[in-house]
Chain A
Amino acid sequence: MTQLSTRRFLQTSGLVLAGFILAACGKKADAPAPAAEPASAAASVAAAPPPPPAKVYVVGTDAAYAPFESQNDKGEIVGFDIDVVSAIAQKGGFEVKFINTPWEGIFNTLTQGDRDLVVSAVTITEERKQTMDFSTPYFDAYQLIAVKTNSKVTKFSDLKKLKVGVQNGTTGDEVVTKLQGKSSANIKRFESTPLALKELEAGGVDAVVADNGVIVNYVANNSNNQFKTVTDKEFAPEQYGIAFKKGNTELVEKFSKGLADIKADGTYDSIYKKYFGEAPAAAAAAPASAASN
């Protein structure tokens, strides 16, 4: 009896395995591993031995948003945001601990007290300011439209009647919702921007609207997918800030001061250069020039 069922078990698992191998063989020529490359060298800033720590701040971040935050093959959270906050912490003589937190509900973790701060490419908006506090801005961003190379989309209003992929609850979601209306069935909301871009690749949506840094990074890592990007003067310039629980003025000032310090001593510029290949001043001019095409 036992022998028989063992045999059956072995047969079954053999078949399942064979199925997996077949599936793997059939699907060889597909996309290269996305993202992660620019982030792999990231830990260097955090690696220097910190002075004796006074307090460990818990930082929430949605690590599916390369190059701002992502997880490398060792499971470490790396990226531009991570390096900036680590540098601020090092400067200020305290410690930070990053915890991967899903974007949906990430701001709730601040009010609940689960996280002391959130750094996750968070755009500072008036609505968000009502429920939380922000540090001084640390990054200039703007919305980009990603479309297939053969697409006829040249401006934002072209998306009025098209199927658009966004990450749920992001500023990209907000602008598209404003364009198409709150109950539009043409907006397809995904948990992460890479998933939305994956859907664009598969032809499920006509366009994706999201923050420039992420789209540029994805397009660079998946050049064979023949995406192009379009921007529009209609998109208001945005700025990323570090988010804190409403009323936590002490911490806001601590991080804003730290940010000013690392900007003054050049640390910020070198982090920026590491991820975006150019100094912040040069990049700041980018939206204007990009808007012209």
Chain B
Amino acid sequence: MDLRWEILAGYGPLFVAGLWMTVKLTFVSITCGMVLGVLLGLVSSSRDAPPPRSVPLGWALKALRAVTTAYVTFFRGTPLFVQILLVHFALMPTLIHADHGLLYSGEGAREFRQNYGAFFSGALALTLNAGAYISEIFRAGIQSIHTGQTQAGYSLGFTHGQTMRYIVLPQAFRRMLPALVNEGVTLIKDSSLVSAIGLAELALAARTVAGAYSRYWEPYLLISVMYLVLTMLLSLLAKRLEAPAHRRGK
């Protein structure tokens, strides 16, 4: 096995830009996915909560739950790779297109597609996917807190919202943390799938070199190390969020 690292030299800027793009992509997707996941998780865990007093509101919540369930089912049940292609080559051209975009068309749409299209589609697909998983993590976390805790809250005169905020969520969050970190790590790794739509991120930089030289050790080893550093940094950051042992009741 002869390694010719010098073939990577000319592509240096491509790898640096690719790393930066991967970081940006996963940061945006984790953040947006977290917001989406928390909202959806609250909706789907509302099944066990006392129903709202007004009847139309109750129906609206029921409909919202049904939509959430369908959404989570779809995005957990189909491959991320397919979702990325679906968003970029089917959904986005329907919504944003220079000639016949449903949401946005004209010269601006073309500019947008050219400059941010792949990033936007990739981030959207990753966000939607992560949102589905995070909502389930959230629901599981909330449901893992014994109902006695909620009932205690109610009997103290707390509303459902207050019970969630002061009693259930603080306990649930500690249990969710490892699963959330896991999801973040998965997201960093899965962002490599976005190279299929031509976004110049880390994996595409390696694929470019592999395509040009038909050599696989050097580019893929290099990006393996880079991904490893990214995921380890994330786990390290997450460790700081974990409560120390004495506060975990040990």
A interface with B by C-beta (< 8 Å): 8, 11-13, 15-16, 19, 26-27, 104-105, 107-108, 131, 163, 165, 168-170, 173-174, 177, 182-183, 185, 188-191, 195-196, 198-199, 201-206
- Expressed in whole angstroms, the Cα–Cα distance for A13 and B77 within the complex equals 11
A185 touches B212 (CB 8 A): no
Q: What residues on A are CB-neighbors of B98 within 8 Å? A: 203
Nearest Cβ in chain A — how far from B97, in angstroms? Answer: 7
Identify the closest chain B residue to A202 (Cβ): B93
A107 touches B66 (CB 8 A): no
A183 touches B109 (CB 8 A): no
Of residues 187 through 225 on chain B, the ones whose CB sits less than 8 Å from some CB of chain A are: 196-198, 200, 204, 207-208, 210-212, 214, 216
Known: A108-B216, A183-B10, A183-B12. A203 touches B97 (CB 8 A): yes
Nearest Cβ in chain B — how far from A19, in angstroms? Answer: 6
Nearest Cβ in chain B — how far from A15, in angstroms? Answer: 4
B185 within 8 A of partner (CB): no
Q: What residues on B are CB-neighbors of A189 within 8 Å? A: 198, 204, 207-208, 211
Q: What residues on A are CB-neighbors of B210 within 8 Å? A: 104-105, 169
A188 touches B118 (CB 8 A): yes
Main secondary structure of the interface of B (DSSP, over half): helix
Known: A182-B10, A185-B200, A188-B118. A195 touches B89 (CB 8 A): yes
- Expressed in whole angstroms, the Cα–Cα distance for A173 and B212 within the complex equals 8
- Expressed in whole angstroms, the Cα–Cα distance for A11 and B66 within the complex equals 8
B11 within 8 A of partner (CB): yes
Of the candidates A169, A182, A188, the one whose C-beta lies within 8 Å of that of B14 is A182
The 5 closest A-B pairs by CB, nearest first: A169-B211, A183-B13, A15-B70, A188-B198, A202-B93
Nearest Cβ in chain A — how far from B44, in angstroms? Answer: 12
List 7 other contacts, CB 8 Å, given A165-B198, A183-B14.
A26-B94, A105-B210, A169-B211, A173-B212, A185-B17, A196-B198, A204-B113
Of the candidates B70, B90, B214, the one whose C-beta lies within 8 Å of that of A131 is B214
B11 touches A182 (CB 8 A): yes
Of the candidates A16, A173, A202, the one whose C-beta lies within 8 Å of that of B211 is A173
A107 touches B214 (CB 8 A): yes
B145 within 8 A of partner (CB): no
Q: What residues on A are CB-neighbors of B59 within 8 Å? A: none
- Expressed in whole angstroms, the Cα–Cα distance for A131 and B4 within the complex equals 15
B66 touches A15 (CB 8 A): yes
Identify the closest chain A residue to B109 (Cβ): A203
B117 within 8 A of partner (CB): yes
B69 within 8 A of partner (CB): yes
Q: What residues on B are CB-neighbors of A163 within 8 Å? A: 114
Nearest Cβ in chain B — how far from A192, in angstroms? Answer: 10
